[in-house]
Structure 1
Amino acid sequence: MSSPKVAFITGASRGIGKQLAIDFAKAGYDVVCLARSTSDQPTKLPGTVDATAELVRQHGRRALALGVDLQVEEQLRAAVDRAYDEFGRIDVLINNAAIAIPGPTLPQPMRKWRLAMEINVNAPLALMMAACPRMTKAGGGHVINVSSEAAVFPEFGRASYTVTKAALESLNQCMAHELKPSAIAVNVMRIDVPIWSEGFVFTLQGMDTSDFEDPVIMSDACLWIADQPATYTGHILTITGMREQGIIRPRTRVGQRTL
């Protein structure tokens, strides 16, 4: 009997990443939960990787919670090593974690720009560098890079987010081409509707979020992508487009789920 598939999810302490971890567990995956916030070292926003891992276990799946600073390549490589030590495989790598730094660009110190590049572009690349050679040896897998419509419609006042999401999408297309012979599908899941998450709400500083959608729609999208053959690669998918195709459930607001 083969071992369960494994999903490796960054930004899994809250919001979309937490929802992905729960729903991949429901779909039968064991889950590696990665984020900076742990029960021992929580951040100012609610949620920890340990709490998410416990929710995964409540659905009968194994979970590994790893507190990692995504700016540190050595920690990212160590996290992939831990995942293989624990589960022996990674089938789906979801680069979900991101940082959006608000405010005018020129007054900000360069360290904030570098931070956005490290979290939003370099960390996904480092994880692909660490995981994909092993995925290749195992016969392939999936990489899903979570992006935003900011990549094509600039969000003025969040320049580093806009630029790094555009860079992530370009990186995705390059990696899809490079990894196609290895049977690793690399696709972008571009968020083009407002989805509720603690981080998003914090960044928006008091904006009305009552019309935001439930993060469960991202689970619909990512589970569908992970179920496609490895030849389905190099795509930039959107919530709106997948909904029009009937892949994602109808519009679902937070607290009004149709599960």
Structure 2
Amino acid sequence: MRLRDRVVFITGASRGIGRAVALICAREGADIVVAAKTEVADNPRLPGTIHDVAGEIAALGRRALPLKLDVRDDEACRSAVAAAIERFGRIDALVNNAGALFWADVLDTPMKRFDLVMSVNVRASFALSQAVLPHMIAQKYGHIVMMSPPVDVSVCAHHGAYAVSKLGMTMVAHAITEEYAEHNITAHALWPATAVESYATKNFGLGGPEIWRKADILADATLALLAREPSARPGKAWIDEDLLREEGVTDFSRYQCVPGVEPPHIAFTGLPKVSTAKP
């Protein structure tokens, strides 16, 4: 029970990676704020709701607060944090998992799409971090995790809007670590070494199960970050496999979507382009 009685606020928690993170944190003793847009399952391509995940958490014996949240609305973000504080009295960790995907070259990216990825990715993670930080400072404890890659422009060419939004999240994490370390607060960026099975990879046609790992790998890596005292491991940008190897993991076969098939490692933009005709 490495997170006993901690409170973890997770965005995009109604399915996929966010749900996996929520459940592993609950199994380790945490109470969970399940924040996502989906309150009613009305799209067969996007099953799962905040209430479904809250029920799974309750079945594990932990408390859950399902919150319908559009992370593009900074006032709604502040209200969600206030609701979590009212319910649980504290927030020990924020996992900025909600994301918008649009992979296209600059000329193929409408400004509406540019604004979407910027608002859902970097702006929302900034707004939520800003909202939780005063509470973390007051309690002298806090973890913030961004689902974003290390800043390495040599592997982040192409898909300009998406790359800027995700690298921006990482820069915010680095800034938080530097600015609030004295309060026992740290922020990490976390990114997969391989493509990960999610409704984004499925619905956007990003390969198939033979090149994916299960979302459990990012959940395990997130737990590894949250399980330590913030000051014990100052924030940095991690690749999930590197982090888990540091934790002593040597066998990654259990994360394979196709048993016996080890997915290839990818660069930040190492998957096929997404057609701009996709939703």
Same fold (TM over 0.5): yes
Checking the alignment, whether the CA contact within 8 Å between 1:151 and 1:169 is kept in structure 2 is no
Residue pairs, 1:236-247, within 5 angstroms: 236-247=237-248
- In the alignment, the residues of structure 2 paired with residue 43 and residue 174 of structure 1 have an alpha-carbon distance, to the nearest angstrom, of 39
Distance in 2, Cα, partners of 1:119 & 1:16:
16
Aligned partner of 1:177 in structure 2 is 178
**Does residue 49 of structure 1 match 2:50?**
yes
1:46 aligned counterpart, secondary structure: coil
- For residue 230 of structure 1, what is the aligned residue in structure 2? 230
CA RMSD of aligned residues (A): 2.2
SS of residue matched to 1:12: coil
Q: Where do 1:1-259 residues align within 5 Å?
A: 4-39=5-40, 44-148=45-149, 152=153, 153-154=155-156, 156=158, 158-203=159-204, 205=205, 207-231=207-231, 232-248=233-249, 250-251=252-253, 252-254=255-257
C-alpha deviation, 1:188, in angstroms: 1.1
Cα pair 1:151 1:163 within 8 Å, conserved: no
Distance 1:60 1:199, change over 3 A: same
Q: Which amino acid aligns with 1:39?
A: V
Q: Distance in 1 between matches of 2:219 and 2:58?
A: 18
TM-score, scaled to structure 2: 0.84
Q: Answer yes or no: is the 8 Å Cα contact 1:193–1:239 preserved in 2.
A: no
Distance 1:64 1:151, change over 3 A: farther
Structure 1 contact 11–98 (Cα < 8 Å) conserved: yes
Where has structure 1 moved over 6 Å in runs of 4 or more?
none
Gaps in structure 2 of 5+ consecutive residues: 260-279
Please say if residues 151 and 162 of structure 1, whose CA atoms lie closer than 8 Å, have aligned partners that are also in contact.
no
**Amino acid in structure 2 at the alignment position of 1:210:** E
Q: Which ranges in structure 1 are unaligned for 5 or more consecutive residues?
A: none
- Residues 213 and 149 of structure 1, relative CA distance in 2, 3 Å threshold: farther
Quote the offset at 1:206 in angstroms: 6.2
CA distance in 2, matches of 1:120, 1:7: 19
Contact 2:121 2:169 in 1 (8 A): yes
Whether the aligned pair in 1 keeps the contact of 2:11 and 2:35 (CA below 8 Å) is yes
